Amino acid sequence: MERIAETLTILTPEDKEATDLPRVSEDELAVGKKRLYIESYGCQMNFSDSEIVAAVMRNAGFATTSTADEADLIFLNTCAIRDNAEQKVRNRLKQLNTLKKRKPELVVGMLGCMAERLKTKLLEEEKIVDIVAGPDAYRDIPKLVEEAETGQKAVNVFLSREETYADIAPIRLNSNGITAFISIMRGCDNMCSFCVVPYTRGRERSRDAHSIVREAEQLVADGYKEVTLLGQNVDSYKWTSADGSEHVNFALLLERVAQVSPELRVRFSTSHPKDITDDVLHTMAKYENICKYIHLPAQSGNSRILKLMNRTYDRDWYIQKIDRIRAILGEDCGISHDMISGFCSETEEEHRDTLTLMEYARYDYGYMFAYSERPGTPAAKKYADDVPHDVKLRRLNEIIALQQKLSLERNQRTIGQVQKVLIEGTSKRSAEELCGRNDQNKMVVFPKGDLQKGQYVLVRITDCTAATLRGEVVA
């Protein structure tokens, strides 16, 4: 039962596997270079950041490897969103300690949100760690490595108001050659009371719009077929040119990326209910290659709890956003959510408000957690974590059970429909089947035939589970 409360629950098994397990760097052909191994934990932003780190270290003379045993330098790119995420990293450090005893010259670094949250305290608590670098310090990593190689501990946890890494071309790690992330902004100005992100990733700043479009163009030239625009809150993207002549909001940026190529699928994550606009929804409706799928975290269905969370909207506001999505993009638009059970002082009636919101929204799937108090957050300072653990677990299980029911019902609606699918590769269960995602970000499995990865294909849906669609290719 403990694992249910602390683990991210996603109703697509492929996504769950990818999220529960760290992503590791790939083998790069290199002679005479030192080897870099990166493990990335947590969100898509971390995976994107690891690609920036790999690019920075390539320029410093390192090549990546997929095996820690072969590495001269190991980085763990960490998450701090829940205590369980940090414990995973600490357990991994214990495993790596054996390797370091065998190779004393090995340099081990901690990157990302956990590094930013704990800062130099990490060096005291984890003797194996040589480098601590926060999310805005990645340009400085080669210098930190040089310091560590002399036997010194090296730290940079400075948070920047300008850094976006816009000029660094990421090295695509764990890439299928078809889909890629583009980071469009960094940091977050939404001070949700339960969240550490503003303290670990700093204030919000948007990347140069032209650099984003150029990156999308290069990905198309390299054969990629899908990009996901990433930000803690993409809807608040705002960029102004240095001379003040050009202003780009998220709706305009989304349109520019969609115009790069009609063959390039465009997704984005994450949206905040207070900021997503009708302009964004109308832009999605206008372009066939912008996927009709929105991740719209609710966190709770009760207005009092939302106020305690400092989400800056209430239940009615959120419902209005769901209504606008359905009105502009239709009933088939995919919507997913984040939901927290057992936030401070949550009552049974308020928990039921979450369940009724889920029923109203008819979510396709969700990311569901029991509340985990994070040190230093406003909630930890102001509110008692007073919902008993077993009550959190029971409420979480009720949320999960309802979402499984909703997911199955939403998937059953697609049976008989013909859907456009981008082939991502071979199904994990059978070499005779291929898989790919439809517009709504759902995995579709179908017979292989003579089709190949990277092709678009039309699939008639014939069957489904709560997690996966199955179908047959139509001409």
pLDDT for 462 equals 98
pLDDT for 190 equals 92
Give CA 210 to chain center in angstroms: 23
Cα–Cα distance for residue pair 93/39, rounded to 1 Å: 11
State yes or no: pLDDT of 331 exceeds 90. yes
pLDDT for 30 equals 64
pLDDT for 267 equals 98
The pLDDT tens digits for 257-294 are 999 999 999 999 999 999 999 999 999 999 999 999 99
Quickly tell me which residue has 């083998």 as its tokens. Answer: 27
- Determine whether the annotation assigns residue 79 to a binding site: yes
Mean pLDDT, the chain, whole residue set: 92
Range from 156-160, 173-177, 389-393 carrying the lowest mean pLDDT: 173-177
- Determine whether the annotation assigns residue 113 to a binding site: yes
Q: How confident is the model at residue 121 (pLDDT cuts 50, 70, 90)?
A: very high
179-412 against 418-473: fold identical: no
Residues 6+ apart with CB under 8 A from 192: 299, 309, 310, 311
Q: How confident is the model at residue 8 (pLDDT cuts 50, 70, 90)?
A: very low
State yes or no: pLDDT of 31 exceeds 80. no
Q: How confident is the model at residue 26 (pLDDT cuts 50, 70, 90)?
A: low
CB 39 within 8 A of CB 76: yes
pLDDT greater at residue 252 or residue 43: 252
Closest CA to 209 of 252, 180, 168: 252
pLDDT for 2 equals 32
3-state secondary structure 49-116: HHHHHHHHHHHCCEEECCCHHHCCEEEEEECCCCHHHHHHHHHHHHHHHHHHHHCCCCEEEEEHHHHH
Cα–Cα distance for residue pair 322/43, rounded to 1 Å: 24
Whole-prediction pTM value? 0.88
Q: How confident is the model at residue 248 (pLDDT cuts 50, 70, 90)?
A: very high
Q: How confident is the model at residue 4 (pLDDT cuts 50, 70, 90)?
A: very low
| Phi, psi angles (nearest 5°) of residue 86 | -70, -35
pLDDT for 441 equals 96
Burial class (CB in 10 A: 0-12, 13-18, 19+), 256: middle
State yes or no: pLDDT of 314 exceeds 60. yes
pLDDT for 13 equals 38
pLDDT for 161 equals 87
pLDDT for 21 equals 64
The third-level CATH classification (topology) of the domain covering 179-412 is pyruvate-formate lyase- activating enzyme (3.80.30)
pLDDT for 6 equals 33
Domain segments of the chain as ranges: 2-156, 179-412, 418-473
Q: How confident is the model at residue 5 (pLDDT cuts 50, 70, 90)?
A: very low
Cα–Cα distance for residue pair 308/110, rounded to 1 Å: 32
pLDDT above 70: percentage of residues in the chain: 94
Q: What integer is the mean pLDDT of 317-340?
A: 98
pLDDT for 7 equals 32
The pLDDT tens digits for 438-447 are 999 999 999 9
State yes or no: pLDDT of 126 exceeds 70. yes
pLDDT for 468 equals 96
Q: What integer is the mean pLDDT of 318-344?
A: 98
Q: How confident is the model at residue 303 (pLDDT cuts 50, 70, 90)?
A: very high
- Determine whether the annotation assigns residue 195 to a binding site: yes
The pLDDT tens digits for 346-386 are 999 999 999 999 999 999 999 999 999 999 999 999 999 99
Just give the CATH number of 418-473: 2.40.50.140
Written as six digits, the tokens of 52 are 């920036």
- Determine whether the annotation assigns residue 464 to a binding site: no
Q: What pairing do the DSSP bridges indicate for beta strands 34-40 and 73-78?
A: parallel
State yes or no: pLDDT of 20 exceeds 80. no
Architecture of domain 2-156: 3-Layer(aba) Sandwich (3.40)
